[in-house]
């Protein structure tokens, strides 16, 4: 049988999704979904993982589950093509995690650079919740339960995919070929790998207040672009400007397409030309920001419009999620069956085992 091509990816529902999520992953997912190259696509909300560092704030996760579902639908994820589901509704994932825990050492988990940074950011150093510390293992369960071959995610998820691959190899080595080793699919554009915040800080994050959300209104987006961080030494229009660390240009790298120049800035032929003028001096920040605002409105407007439509029928969105969970659960249960068989813990569905044991005791 030809190996199926299966995509799985997800997000923690701890906030509304922003344009960093969009260029880093969501936009690509929709392209992959519509490419027809994949046999199955699973997109899920990792609410269980979100709870690992929000255990005293379940309401936050509950509120954001619907926000993220609306974000998914509004960017063009289509439940007819992609199974959209919620992690906590698939108990099979917990069982897989439980078995995988024995395939990973504490010191291996301690080396995970993403988890290390997160522990620092949350001031968890002296009181790390065990569930948080072990979430890379549960993430391996998420990925392998659906036999994912391809995991489109941002760069920060690389250690999780590597951990998953190690678990798969170790499992298959001990118990025989059972699990599928996934590949990571990173954004192909450096600006999309890690979109900075509007303040120029390395990452867009809700707590820093430097995000542009997919659900922001046109006015909010315009205002945020206007106040974006550029080059603090570029004071007069005639001053030469720097591109490094100048997030207006990073955003253009992520969003701008050649045809945008025709539409909104016809005096330039390309982004390279615009950059050259800025570096040379003589191009003001306001003009570049206006262009960026126009480019972003063009991309975000259809997303906002679709969101408004889905917001009108919230029960239908929950219904869609519920159906997705049913489909996902079936797929995960199938894998779990195979895992239990491989691990020899399928006592009751193995007639040969019972017979063999009966015989052994009869001969005594
Ligand atoms: N850790 C991911 C994030 O923070 C979310 C996630 C959980 C995930 N399980 C996954 C992503 C499995 C891809 C595959 O965004």
pLDDT tens track for 38-50: 999 999 999 999 9
Same domain, 97 and 226: no
Residues 40 and 143 grouped into a single domain: yes
Residues 349 and 286 in one domain: no
Nearest protein CA to atom 14 of ligand 1, as residue: 9
Which atom number of ligand 1 is nearest to the Cα of residue 139?
9
Domain shared by 95 and 158, yes or no: yes
Q: For 239, which DSSP code? A: S
Residue 125 has pLDDT above 90, yes or no: no
- The residue among 208 and 328 whose pLDDT is bigger is 328
**pLDDT for 178 beyond 90:** yes
Instruction: Note down the domain range covering 143.
Output: 6-194+313-355
The answer to whether residue 49 sits within a structural domain is yes
Q: Provide the domain count of the chain.
A: 2
**Range from 230-239, 269-278, 355-364 that averages highest in pLDDT:** 269-278
Residues 142 and 52 in one domain: yes
Domain-located, residue 210: no
What kind and span of H or E run contains 143?
A: helix 135-145
Angstrom distances, CA of residue 60 to CA of 19, 50, 189, 195, 341: 20, 9, 32, 24, 39
Q: Which among 86, 142, 194 is the best mutation to test ligand 1's pocket, defined by most ligand atoms within 8 Å of the CB? A: 142
Average pLDDT (70-89) is 98
Domain assignment present for residue 117? The answer is yes
Q: Is the pLDDT of residue 126 over 90?
A: no
What residues does ligand 1 touch, defined as CB less than 6 Å away?
A: 8-12, 46, 49, 139, 142-143, 151, 153, 157
* Cα separation, 132 vs 129, whole angstroms: 5
CA–centroid distance, 334 to ligand 1, in Å, is 21
Atom number of ligand 1 nearest to Cα 49 = 7
- 205 lies in some domain: no
The sign of the torsion formed by the CA atoms of 103, 107, 111, 116 equals: positive
CATH code, domain with 240: 1.10.240.10
Mean pLDDT of 248-267: 94
Which of 26, 49, 115, 328 for mutating ligand 1's site (highest number of atoms within 8 Å of CB)? 49
pLDDT of residue 190: 74
Among 157, 194, 205, which is best to mutate for testing ligand 1, by the most ligand atoms less than 8 A from CB? Answer: 157
Beta strands across the sheet bearing 6-11? 83-86, 40-45, 6-11, 150-152, 183-185
- Contact in structure between 321 and 85 (CB atoms under 8 Å): yes
Q: Which of 96-105, 132-141, 153-162, 332-341 has the lowest mean pLDDT?
A: 153-162
Confidence of residue 1 (pLDDT cuts 50, 70, 90): low
> What does pLDDT average to over the chain?
94
Residue pointed to by tokens 């960093």:
20
* Claim to verify: residue 144 and residue 94 sit in the same structural domain: yes
Does residue 10 sit in the same domain as residue 126? Answer: yes
In a domain, 98, yes or no: yes
Same structural domain, 154 and 222: no
Q: Are residues 301 and 233 in the same domain?
A: yes
Taking residues 164-169, report their average pLDDT.
Answer: 98
206 inside domain: no
pLDDT for residue 154: 84
Does residue 143 share a domain with residue 173? yes
For residue 61, pLDDT beyond 90: yes
**342, 230: one domain:** no
| 72 within some domain | yes
Q: Based on the domain organization, do 170 and 265 belong to the same domain?
A: no
| Cα of 156 from ligand 1 centre, angstroms | 10
Q: How far apart are CA 143 and CA 190, in angstroms?
A: 25
**What percentage of residues in the chain have a pLDDT greater than 90?**
84
pTM: 0.93
């Amino acid at each position: 049988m030809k190996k199926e091509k299966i995509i799985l990816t997800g997000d923690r529902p701890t906030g509304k999704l922003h344009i960093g999520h969009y260029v880093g992953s969501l936009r690509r997912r929709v392209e992959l979904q519509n490419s027809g190259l994949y046999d199955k696509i699973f997109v899920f909300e990792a609410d269980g993982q979100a709870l690992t560092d929000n255990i005293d704030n379940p309401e936050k996760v509950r509120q954001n589950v619907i926000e993220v579902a609306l974000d998914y639908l509004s960017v063009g994820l289509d439940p007819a093509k992609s199974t959209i589901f919620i992690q906590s509704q698939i108990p099979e994932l917990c069982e897989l995690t439980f078995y995988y825990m024995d395939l990973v050492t504490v010191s291996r988990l301690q080396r995970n650079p993403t988890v290390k940074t997160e522990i620092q950011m949350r001031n968890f150093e002296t009181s790390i919740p065990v569930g948080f510390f072990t979430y890379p293992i549960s993430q391996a369960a998420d990925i392998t339960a659906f036999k994912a071959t391809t995991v489109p995610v941002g760069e920060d998820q690389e250690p999780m995919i590597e951990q998953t691959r190690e678990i798969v190899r170790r499992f298959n080595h001990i118990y025989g070929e059972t699990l599928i080793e996934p590949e990571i699919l990173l954004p192909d554009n450096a600006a999309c790998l890690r979109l900075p915040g509007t303040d120029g800080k390395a990452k867009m994050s809700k707590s820093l207040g430097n995000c542009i959300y997919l659900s922001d209104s046109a006015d909010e987006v315009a205002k945020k672009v206007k106040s974006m961080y550029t080059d603090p030494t570029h004071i007069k229009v005639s001053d030469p400007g720097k591109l490094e660390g100048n997030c207006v240009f990073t955003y253009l790298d992520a969003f701008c397409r050649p045809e945008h120049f025709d539409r909104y800035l016809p005096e330039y032929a390309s982004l390279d030309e615009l950059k050259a003028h800025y570096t040379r001096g003589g191009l003001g920040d306001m003009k570049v920001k206006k262009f960026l605002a126009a480019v972003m409105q063009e991309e975000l407007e259809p997303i906002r419009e679709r969101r408004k439509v889905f917001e009108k029928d919230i029960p239908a969105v929950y219904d869609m999620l519920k159906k997705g969970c049913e489909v996902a659960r079936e797929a995960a249960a199938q894998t779990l069956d195979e895992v239990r068989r491989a691990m020899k813990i399928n006592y009751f569905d193995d007639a040969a085992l019972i017979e063999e044991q009966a015989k052994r005791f009869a001969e005594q």
